[in-house]
Chains A and B, each alone.
Chain A
Amino acid sequence: MRHTAIASTVVLVLALLCATAQAAADEVTIQVTSIAAATLSDEQIESGDVRVDEELSGYAQKLRALFAYNRYAFLGDVRTRTDFGTTAVFQLPEHFAMEIEPTRFEPDGSGRIEMMVTLIRDVRTGEHRGERGRSHDEIVLRTKIRLENGGTVLLGGPPISGGVLILALSARR
């Protein structure tokens, strides 16, 4: 009787561990960093060097090498965990939002995470006439990517106040 109880407990614990491990394997941690890039005049940039906010220190070298802007401002950082097949929604600055759905983890050893990424802009119309205005979403970008596990891809270009929006998207399983 005692042995039976111990065995049952062990089996139950193993089952829970397996379930937890399986759940963890089906999840993807996604991080989106919002950056405002701009080209400022010499008067606006005192030293003349490229200014990158401290929060973007991890991206500073790449940003300097890839783009010709001289000002990179950190706008925000959002991180979430989501399951494969489930869409995660990120609210971004300047009326932008991003929907990310990890669709599958490539089992061929490449270790890439396949994702459907949609960048949406909330467009408000009618405000210039003094009305409250109506909003509707427009899909600025929809892309299907296969991102290396733990890798980063940069998405950018939409104009925002004083520059353009750049999003650093990272995913790790």
Chain B
Amino acid sequence: MTRTCGTEKYLTAYADGELSPRLRRKVKQHIDSCETCARELDSIRSFDTILKDVPVAPPVPAEKWERFERLLSQEMDRIDRKAARSSRVPEARPVFGDLRRRAIAFAGVGIAAALGLMAFWPTGIAPIGLSSNNGCAVESIETFASGYTPMAFTSDDPEMTVIWVFSEQVEGGGRADAPGSL
């Protein structure tokens, strides 16, 4: 295990001439008396000498840098696209997605057909076969006068079938009363 004297941390700065004059004097006095630190300082200075002897690479022309950066950018884009394709998860689709869409479409067509029937059906036609109990079955029900809407009702208590003609007209100007509890 190497013994430390606490001055090693200043040796690099000492070799580079970056210490204050006061600290530089103290470090120099220590090195003169400490063989370990003296050897370490020699090692640092010899390494700096090696680095100074390494030939510096000639500067790269600007056009070569531009071409390099362009090629690098293209390559990075290609890698990004490839990564995006490989990481793309197929869109999840509900199991009954098509069925639901078909059901919605079918319901839409049905509603449209019902609205069409309501719009073009002869005035006042109400659903037939409305009652089959209470002693009276209503097979058909219709009106040929404007302002009337006939409907059939059945009541269990008392047992009775009622065919009611709702009217928008009432003598005196108001609306006809509704049949109340029907």
- Mark A residues whose CB is within 8 Å of B: 37-39, 61-62, 65-69, 112, 114, 119, 121, 138-148, 151-161, 163-164
Contacts and interface: CB of A to CB of B under 8 A. Distances in A.
Q: Which one of A65, A69, A141 has the highest number of Cβ atoms from chain B below 10 Å of its Cβ?
A: A141
Given A139-B145, A142-B142, A146-B139, A154 B161 contact: yes
Interface of B: 135-145, 148, 150, 152, 155, 157-158, 160-167, 169-172, 176-182
Contacts of B161: 145, 153-154
Given A141-B163, A151-B135, A159-B170, A65 B181 contact: yes
A147 B182 contact: no
Contact of B137 (A139, A145, A159): A145
Nearest to B132: A146
Contact of A146 (B136, B143, B150): B136
12 contacts: A65-B155, A66-B162, A68-B177, A68-B180, A142-B144, A144-B138, A146-B136, A153-B161, A154-B163, A156-B179, A157-B150, A159-B176
Contacts of B135: 147-148, 151-153
A114 to B, nearest CB: 8
Contacts of B143: 139-142
Contacts, number: 126
A152 B140 CA distance: 17
Contacts of B160: 62, 66, 152-154
The secondary structure that dominates the A interface is strand
Contacts of B171: 159-161
Contacts of B137: 112, 145-146
B155 to A, nearest CB: 6
A147 to B, nearest CB: 5
B136 A151 contact: yes
A145 B172 CA distance: 32
A148 B132 CA distance: 11
B165 A156 contact: yes
Contacts of B164: 155-157
Contacts of A155: 162-165
Contact of A154 (B141, B157, B162): B162
Contact of B177 (A39, A121, A151): A39
B130 to A, nearest CB: 10
A159 B169 contact: yes
Contacts of A152: 135, 160
Q: Which one of A39, A61, A141, A157 has the highest number of Cβ atoms from chain B below 10 Å of its Cβ?
A: A157
Contact of A67 (B139, B150, B166, B180): B180
B177 A164 contact: yes
Contacts of A38: 177
A137 B74 CA distance: 89
Contact of B155 (A66, A157, A160): A66
